[in-house]
Structure 1
Amino acid sequence: MKKWILSLTLAAGVVGLAACSGNGGEDVAKTKAGNVTKDELYQAMKERIGEPMLQQLVLEKVLEKEYKVSEDEINERLEKIKGETGEQFESQILQYGYKDEDDFRTALKFSLLQEKAAIKDVKVTEDEVKEYYDNLELPIEVRHIIVDPEDEELAKEIKAKLDKGEDFAKLAEEYSIDGTKETGGDLGKIEKDNEGWDADFREAAFKLKKDEISEPVKTQFGWHIIQVTDKPEKEPFDKAKDEYEYELKLSKLDNEAVNDAVKKEVQNAKVDIKDKELKSALDSYLKEPEAADQSDDDSADK
């Protein structure tokens, strides 16, 4: 799945700014020092977050009119993200500015709407989908025991103990030099193309069968003994073809392509912003970029 989707840089959840625009004189808070009206709240919010929030609300309305995202689709994507982030899911969504899972779900829905707009015109053949399917490696779950780069002999001794049936988790707790010793060497899921993992480590891990234990593997971090604890099988192609076709189309996208697709939808929607102070909120979608000034280039060539 494309990393631009999983990078957790989705738009923030929508605050109900639009709801503050009606019944301007109605109080939303009362104090002995004076009341706060909806007009005052709207104006204050507009000054602070008006343009980005209006942009968000307009984009959602435009995309929701043309595309539908079901709760099942949101749940499916959410489960995939949870599977890839593991126990770090909650801390990661907090790190990227989401207050809770519901807030993240709102942003996820918006991301899926953008996806559907962007892949609409992406064409792939069945042969391309089959090739993508054949070359795809699903994430695997691994654990390891790691010792110092100078301790190859120790790594071999540990491998010999494993071959005799000694417990992997206990040996990891006894010998490993990293924090995974506290969890029996568990590293969670890894993807074959994730460059955050050492290339030699990935290559060795993906050659293993489920439950198989590697010979000592040298990386820049030390000597590893790797075990694959889960290696899921792909669904048959005929059953999963639609899913892999969708993923292949996504793999052909980048942020620029997504933005261009959303821009086209906004321009077709004939947006007319009535509030003068927010007129420029959608300029990046409604205005074409100005042509570069060629005068400097011309003078530089002389």
Structure 2
Amino acid sequence: MKKKKWFLSLACLLGVVSLAACSGNSDKDDEIATMKGDKITVSDFYDKAKTDQNSQQIVLDMIISQVFMDKYGDKVSDDEVDKQIKDTFGDEDTLKQQLKASQMSRKELEETYKQSLAVQEGLKAHVNLSDNDLKEAWDSYHPQVEAQIIAVSSEDDAKKVKKEVDKDDADFGKIAKDESIAPSKDDNGKVKFDSTTSAEEVPDEVKEKAWDMKDGDISDPIEVNSDYGTGYYILKMNKNQDKGNDMDKYKDKIEKIATDNKINDQEFTTKVIGQELQDANVKIKDEAFSDILSQFTDAADDKQNNSSTDATDKESTDTTKTEESSD
């Protein structure tokens, strides 16, 4: 199923900030530009811009963010916001460079992340995990392993490294330090990861290969294709482990995986957002934006209709059983 997170993007916020700055200092008849015998006003600009797809998306994101902020914003702490920003940008210098490039203030960025986290909190509030949800999460889970990784940029380099690590006296850690382009090279290629580790940290192809390896095994070169190009990984398994049959041992982890699966399910998020929009009594006043909420409100209506049908069917079944019992 296709996944999408309905969070206000940084690009959208920039558009919102820019438009707000214009509207805050301008009347609708103020002139943006003049020419011989004609002019372009703020009102002209708005009439043209509001039908643009990007503008429609900006308004949609603003509505969703505002609804969830009003209801769930107080559940998001400043520490959570700071952690999200740090996880995204890393060091403070990188953050400052990005803010300068986007002409965005630190406060605006923090507000954006708080809005995203408020949406997450709202989605979590609607999650009711079934036994099937937990089983699906359990089936997909593999506990943490300890390994070493060498990453190179070409197939020829991968074949060369593979020959080196297969030698009887090979020092995998030293070869990783000398040859690898992965961040782990500074720690002799050492990495720890489980099935929930992001693909940015350890590619999915590498993780899938790892689960079947025994301690001491060294993989053949693993080809990984990404937005950044093609890379090759050689993996040495140091300590693998079987999860066994006791799901309770990993209860918190399994519940988090199942919850994340729900939140990343487009059908689920669409219905939840639609329900929250209805609960907030959102009304579109400008005809140009009349359809932007329909996908959400329609999904919420379908959910309510299905719930009503299920309740009616259950009541009918219970009545039938009672009548049969009376007979």
TM interval, shorter chain, is 0.5 to 0.7
Match of 1:115, SS state, is helix
How far the C-alpha of 1:47 sits from its partner, in A, is 2.6
Q: Does residue 266 of the first structure (1) align with residue 277 of the second (2)?
A: yes
Aligned: 1:44 with 2:48: yes
Cα contact 1:25–1:38 (8 A) shared by 2: yes
- Structure 2 matches for 1:215-230, cutoff 5 A? 215-218=217-220, 224=234, 226=236
Q: Which residue of 1 aligns with 2:170?
A: 161
CA distance in 2 between partners of 1:105 and 1:139 (Å): 35
* CA distance 1:73–1:266, shift in 2 (3 Å): same
Deviations 1:97-127 (A, max 9, x none): x9989787665444322222222132469xx
Alignment-derived partner of residue 210 in structure 2: 202
Please tell me the residue identity of whatever aligns with 2:285: K
- TM-score w.r.t. the length of structure 1 is 0.57
**How many equivalent residue pairs?**
250
Distance 2:301 2:77 in 1: 38
1:282 alignment partner AA: L
Compared CA separation, residues 121 and 150, structure 1 to 2 (3 A): same
Pick which of 73-82 and 272-281 moved more. 73-82
* Counterpart contact for 1:114–1:258, Cα < 8 Å: no
2:297 maps to which residue? 286
Give the aligned residue type for 2:127: V
Cα distance, 1:266 vs. partner? Answer: 0.4
| TM-score using structure 2 length | 0.53
Is the 8 Å Cα contact of residues 198 and 219 (structure 1) preserved in structure 2? no
The answer to whether the 8 A contact 2:8-2:115 is kept is yes
Q: SS of the residue aligned with 1:217?
A: coil
Q: In structure 2, what is the equivalent of residue 27 of structure 1?
A: 30
| Relative contact order higher in (CA < 8 Å, ≥ 6 apart) | 1
Hey, what does 1:54 align to over in structure 2? 59
Indicate the RMSD between aligned Cα atoms, in angstroms: 5.3
Q: What percent identity do the matched residue pairs reach? A: 18
Unmatched 5+ stretches in structure 2: 224-231, 239-250, 303-327
2:149 aligns to what SS in structure 1?
Answer: strand
**In structure 1, C-alpha distance between the alignment counterparts of 2:89 and 2:253, rounded to whole Å:** 18
CA deviation string 1:215-273 (max 9, x = no partner): 43335559946377xxxxxxxxxxxx989866653344322111111110101122222
Distance 1:116 1:260 in 2: 15
Greater Cα offset, 100-109 or 36-45 = 100-109
Q: Distance in 2 between matches of 1:26 and 1:9?
A: 34
- 2:27 partner letter: G
Equivalent residue number for residue 144 of structure 1: 150
Instruction: Check the 8 A contact 1:141/1:188 in 2, yes or no.
Output: yes
Equivalences for residues 168-207 of structure 1 within 5 A: 168-169=175-176, 172-173=178-179, 191-192=194-195, 196-198=204-206, 201-203=209-211
> How far has the Cα of 1:197 moved from its partner?
2.1
1:111 aligns with 2:119: no
Q: Deviations over 1:31-69 (max 9, x none)?
A: 676764322232232132443222222112211111113
Q: Structure 2 CA distance, aligned partners of 1:287 and 1:51? A: 18
CA deviation vs aligned residue, 1:114-157 (integer Å, no higher than 9, x gap): 222222132469xx7xx97xx77458784327876699764332
Equivalent residue, structure 1, for 2:84: 77
* Consecutive unaligned residues in structure 1, runs of 5 or more: 209-213, 229-240, 292-302
Q: Which residue of 2 aligns with 1:211?
A: none
Letter in 1 for 2:149: R
1-structure distance, mates of 2:85, 2:145 = 16
